[in-house]
Structure formats: structure tokens, C-alpha cells
Structure 1
Amino acid sequence: MFYTDSKLQFPVRVDKPNPLFARALQQAIGGVEGEIRVAMQYFFQAMGARGNPKFRDLLLNTAAEELGHIEMLATAVALNLEGAPLSMQEEAADNPVAGSVLSGINLKNLLSAGLSAMPVDSDGVPFNMSHIYASGNIAADMNSNVTAEATGRVLAVRLYNMTDDPGMKEMLQFLIARDTMHQNQWLAAIEELGGNENVFPIPNSHPQEEENLDFSYVFLGFQHDGSEPVQGRWSSGQSIDGNGSFTSRPIEPLGEVPNLGRAKPKSGAQAEQL
């Protein structure tokens, strides 16, 4: 069950409407780094979170918060579209808002939503759920969530640097702070699951002794001349999960040249393939 409130999670104030910035804010709603993505990702991860119920509650609480962020951003989009022209014939020369429209704002906000936000990115492409990662493995999901919050925070910082509107800057600093917390809470959840040495490799339920251990911790180089691959923390020393030691070597092909045989009759192949 979900509850709603008439109040925003954090104040949203636009001192000077800017339709072009409204378009930019759409990326934070319906872009691959946006709030729809994380809200739905955490929600569906929660729906498949078996085991300790506290992880389900963690995910659901954060999903609910992200819905509130969508509300904030949608309000900000609408407020930034205040005063946008309803006719392309309006004079742009004396109207900076009209000029912004003619300079490339997302006309979907005008034509399809009546100067309101939409579940689209900054180019007007609808969010299609293809970037929702909910694997049913709680450790894999937590790692995916760190990445989601990191890219979201990058976007929020870029938006912050695009505007000089005090109200928008204040709202974005709040969202940036929440991204900070969410990155840390997912990392804390990984720590509670046992940290790197117990979580990795994911899934830790698969017996490692059954995998091909010759390749478990070797960094392979694919240089055409067979030279050693680039060296770093990933090529020497103990592995991050503590179960092996990193090495590196040039790759050598171990398989044969593939031969698929002749094509089957009536398969639509050329006669020369049969």
C-alpha cells in the first residue's frame, strides 16, 4: 500500500521561468539516469527481494522517495514553462520565453502536455523501462543501484551548473545530497551482506571450485602483437574478493575455427550453401 501527501518532499521554487531548462530537467525525469528509472528499479527489486525482509523495506522506502523526486521535478518543469507561448507566431524578439521555445525546447511539453512535464527524456523520447535492472540477486542489485545513483548524481550536478536560478539550485542541491545518501546506503547494504570478500563473486552461491579457475583472476590482453596487457591493481596482488591472486597474460585462442556445416534444405539458403 502506498500513501500520498499534498506537500512536496522539498520546496520547489522557480524565480525566472526558463523553458529551455525545463527541457533539460526532463532528462532527470525520464532519462536513463533519471528518477523514473531508479523508482521503478528499486520497486521491482523489492518485489523480488527474497530472504531478510529488511532489504525489501530498504528498497521500497527508497522507491517511494524517488516517486517524490519525480513530483518535485515535474513541478519544476511546469514552473519553468510558465509564460511559454501558445502560438509560434508570438514575437520572439521581445519575449525571451518565446525565444527559448524557438531555440529548441521540447515542444512535446507544449503540444502534448499543455506546458507540463512528461515521462520522457530531454529529447522527448519516452522512458521504456529497458534500463530497469532487477535480477533477484540482492548483491547484484545493490551494485547496480550504486551505479544508478552515481550517474544520477552526475546528471544533477550538470543540471546545477546549467542554471543560475536560485530556486532551481536549491532544489538540485537537495537532490544531489539524496544521491549522496543513496550511494552510501547501497554500499552499506553490500557491507551488511558481508562486504566484498563475502559478496563477490556474485552469485556467491555457485561453488567456485566448479568454475574454470585458470581464468578466474587473470586479466587478458587482446593486443594484436601479443604484448603484455596494461598493468594496474587488476593485474597483480590479491583479488578483491580475497579468493585468488590477480595475474595477466596475452590471450591465446584455445578453440578451433568454427565450422557450422552445410545449410539445411528449405532453410532459405543459397544453393551454394546446401
Structure 2
Amino acid sequence: MFYHDDELQFEVEVEEPDPYFAKMLQQAIGGAEGEMRVALQYMFQAFAVPTDKKEYRTLLMETAVEELGHIEMLATAVTKNLEGAPEHLREEARSDSVIAAMMDGGQPRQALSAGLHAMPVDSNGVPFTGNYVVASGNLAADLYANVMAESTGRLLATRLYEMTDDRGMKEMLEYLIARDTMHQNQWHAALESLDDHVPVPASFPQEKENQDVNYEFMSTFRDRHEDPDQPWTSGTSPDGNGEFSYGYQPGGGEPDVKEMLERMYNEVN
């Protein structure tokens, strides 16, 4: 069950509205690195957490709801950047000033389809897709995915920070960047609290996997190269169950697909 309050999680102010920056902010809402992605990702991951690990479900769900608040903040920022189109753009416009501003620096759909408000799309106007969401049902795998999601989200926020001189927008982004820092660290801490989670899934018996290649780095160069003696080619593996080695693709003969080609009538006669 969710509850909503009209108060924003963090106050959003825009000193100089900028339709182009509104377009860039859309990436932080509906893009692959955006808040819609992490909100739904953490929520659907929480649904799959078993009852004996309810503390992780709480962690995921509380963070998911926080991310919903971030969507609200960014949507407010988009609206404030659109509804106050700069005066110089109004003066230069040949027809409707707001539409002209959108055509010059933003997305026409934000004016034409959304009435100068945020949309569930990225900065190119591509609709958000659930394909961005990683929720495998394996807690360790999902936590690794969350570290990546927060890393790319923080990277996006820092890039947006460098794209604006608006003090209000910088303060909002400073807040979001700080929360990305916390979220990265909390997912790392959650991973470290799990016992024997490497490799994922750790519950699969390793004796069933091919023992000749399970800790071998495979070079794909055509010509043979010497072992570069890197942490991933020699020494003990992070799971403590093997020793890294350096080798090459074993090769398995030519693919025999003639029967399939005949059955699918793919051959040209």
C-alpha cells in the first residue's frame, strides 16, 4: 500500500526556464538510466524476496518508493522549465512562442501531447519500456544489477549537472547525486551481508559444471598471446573455489545445420 503527500521530497526551483534542459531531464525520468527504471526494478525485485529474508524486501521496497518521489521531483523540474519559456525565445518566435521554443530546443510532444509537462519517455522521446527492469528472482543477481543501475544513474545525473548553470537545477541534482551515492553503498552492503553469493546462483552445484574451463580466462585473439598476468588470469578467484588460468577457445567443429536448412526450405535451387 502506498500513500502520497503533496510535499516534494526535495524542493525544486528553476531560476531560468530552459526547454532544452527539460528535454535532457526526460532521460532521468524515462531513460534506461532513469528513475522509472529503478523504481520499478526495486519494486518487482521486492515482490520476489522470500519471507525469511523480509529485511531485504523492506530495503528494496522503501528504496523503490523513494525513487517514485524522485520521478515526482524531476517531473516538476520539467514542467517548470517548460511553462516559463525564456522571453527571448518568445520574442523570436514566428508563431506560437511556447511551441516555437519547444521546436527549437526541446521536444514538440511535451507541448503537443502533454501540455508542457513531463512524459514517461527518454530524452529522444522514446517511451519507457519494462525491458529496462532487471528482476530475476535471485536476490544476489538483482543486487548486482542495482549497483549498476545506481552507477549509471549517478553518471547521468553528473552529466546533467554539468549541462546547466541554473542554481535551482544544480541543487536538485546535487540531492539526487547524493542519493545515488547512498544507494550504491547500500546495495554493496546488502551484497556483503549475504553468505556465499558468488558465483550467482551459488545454489547450483559447481561439481556439475565443466571443471576444465570454470576458472579459465579464454583469449579470443586469432594469434596466441602470452598470459598477461592480470588479476583475472592468475591467482585465487574471488569465490575462493578455484585458481584463475589463461587459455584459448577450445573449438568444437563446424556447425551441422544442413537438415534444418532443408526442413525450412532455406536453400536456393
Under a length normalisation based on structure 2, what TM-score does the superposition of the two structures give? 0.92
Q: What do the CA deviations read for 1:14-67 (whole angstroms, capped 9, x no partner)? A: 011011000000000000000000000001001111241111111100000000
Q: What do the CA deviations read for 1:124-156 (whole angstroms, capped 9, x no partner)? A: 100011110000000000000000000000000
Task: Give the count of matched residue pairs.
Answer: 265
- How big is the shift at 1:214? 1.2
User: CA RMSD of the aligned region, Å?
Assistant: 2.3
CA distance, structure 2, for counterparts of residue 109 and residue 165 of structure 1: 21
Normalized per residue, which structure has more helix? 2
Residue 173 of structure 2 aligns with which residue? Answer: 172
- How big is the shift at 1:263? 4.7
The question of whether the paired residues in 2 share the 8 Å contact of 1:149 and 1:179 is answered with yes
Partner-residue secondary structure (3-state), 1:232 = coil
Partner-residue secondary structure (3-state), 2:188 = helix
Partner-residue secondary structure (3-state), 2:178 = helix
CA distance, structure 2, for counterparts of residue 205 and residue 136 of structure 1: 13
Question: Is 1:259 paired with 2:243?
Answer: no
Amino acid at match of 1:114: G
Q: Which runs of 5+ in 2 are unaligned?
A: none
Q: Which runs of 5+ in 1 are unaligned?
A: none
Amino acid at match of 1:41: Q
The question of whether the paired residues in 1 share the 8 Å contact of 2:18 and 2:81 is answered with yes
CA distance, structure 2, for counterparts of residue 217 and residue 243 of structure 1: 9
CA distance, structure 1, for counterparts of residue 78 and residue 162 of structure 2: 17
Question: Is 1:201 paired with 2:202?
Answer: no
Residue 265 of structure 2 aligns with which residue? Answer: 268
The question of whether the paired residues in 2 share the 8 Å contact of 1:223 and 1:229 is answered with no
Q: Give me the identity figure in percent.
A: 54
Partner-residue secondary structure (3-state), 1:168 = helix
CA distance, structure 2, for counterparts of residue 28 and residue 227 of structure 1: 43
The question of whether the paired residues in 1 share the 8 Å contact of 2:90 and 2:101 is answered with no
Find runs of 4+ consecutive structure 1 residues off by over 6 angstroms: 95-99
- How big is the shift at 1:82? 1.8
CA distance, structure 1, for counterparts of residue 212 and residue 97 of structure 2: 65
User: In the superposition, relative to structure 1, how do residues 223 and 4 fare at CA in structure 2: closer, same or farther (>3 Å)?
Assistant: same
Residue 106 of structure 1 aligns with which residue? Answer: 107
Residue 72 of structure 2 aligns with which residue? Answer: 71
Partner-residue secondary structure (3-state), 1:213 = coil
Question: Is 1:185 paired with 2:186?
Answer: yes
Partner-residue secondary structure (3-state), 2:46 = helix
